[in-house]
Amino acid sequence: MKPIFIAGPCVIESAEVLDAVAERIVDINNRLGTEIIFKASFDKANRTSLSSYRGVGMERGLQMLADVKAKHGVQLLTDIHEAWQAAPVAEVVDVLQIPAFLCRQTDLLVAAAKTGKTVNIKKAQFLSGEDMKYPYEKAVESGAARVWLTERGNSFGYNNLVVDFRNIPDMLRIAPRVIMDCTHSVQRPGAAGGKTGGNREFVPAMALAAKAFGATGYFFEVHPNPDEALSDGPNMLALENLETVIKSLL
């Protein structure tokens, strides 16, 4: 199975950042023959602090994503957090993503699936790979065109995540496509004084380890300048390094 890649900024910050990332994605796709889906969130509903930047909101965010699609011709992926968001978001994007903390929310899964779009379900930090059978079945039985599962680490201690790569083959026995979230898996949740920290230097190795365990897709949050990103900067991959990492996986 040809690998897919998902890449983009954690949250919509500006049209300029969206354009910079989309242009790089299109360039890589054209030269390497890859399939990179553009990702950005219009709202981050699970930020550590009330004062943290959440995004531009659904209405403006969907318009900005639609502009990116019209200008650059990329496929789009974004998160939804509530069931009522599924239908309007599906009018713009190609893949609806279910955040890890919400992967057992039945109404959310059913609403996403009923749009007929592809649904990418992130594995919760508190579940095993085998546990993802049930969210997967909820989405399949509710009519999703395709259902993907994504590994993003587990919580075993304070302010840290651990990746058990056996979750990838376990989930491949459930779903035909399993994606490794190579950037969220190096997060240090809440470890930066009311913000999430991270160790972006481990992202390339996380990707290669996932490949060894059979991953069929890879998720990277990228930014032209991660140190200035408004969300998840410490665990984001610098945009200029995206192509090198993708080449290592082909």
Task: Tell me the pLDDT tens digit for each residue of 149-159.
Answer: 999 999 877 77
**CB neighbour list of residue 101: distance below 8 Å, 6 or more residues apart:** 46, 124, 125
Q: What is the pLDDT of residues 114-131, one digit of tens each?
A: 999 999 999 999 999 999
Share of the chain above pLDDT 70, in %: 94
Mean pLDDT computed over 92-106:
97
Domain membership of residue 200 as a residue range? 4-249
Q: Please count the structural domains in the chain.
A: 1
Q: In this structure, what token pair is assigned to residue 3?
A: 């690998």
CA-atom Rg of the chain in angstroms: 16
The pLDDT tens digits of the residues spanning 46-85 come to 766 676 767 789 999 999 999 999 999 999 999 999 999 9
DSSP-derived 3-state class of residue 19: helix
Q: Give the model's pLDDT for residue 191.
A: 46
- 166 has a pLDDT exceeding 90: yes
Q: Residue 37's domain is classified under what CATH number?
A: 3.20.20.70
The pair of three-digit structure tokens given for residue 180, joined into one six-digit string: 């490794």
CA distance 1 to 174: 16
Model confidence, pTM = 0.92
- The answer to whether 185 and 163 are in contact (CB under 8 A) is yes
Where does the pLDDT of residue 160 fall: very low under 50, low under 70, confident under 90, or very high at 90 and above?
A: confident
pLDDT at 199 over 90: no
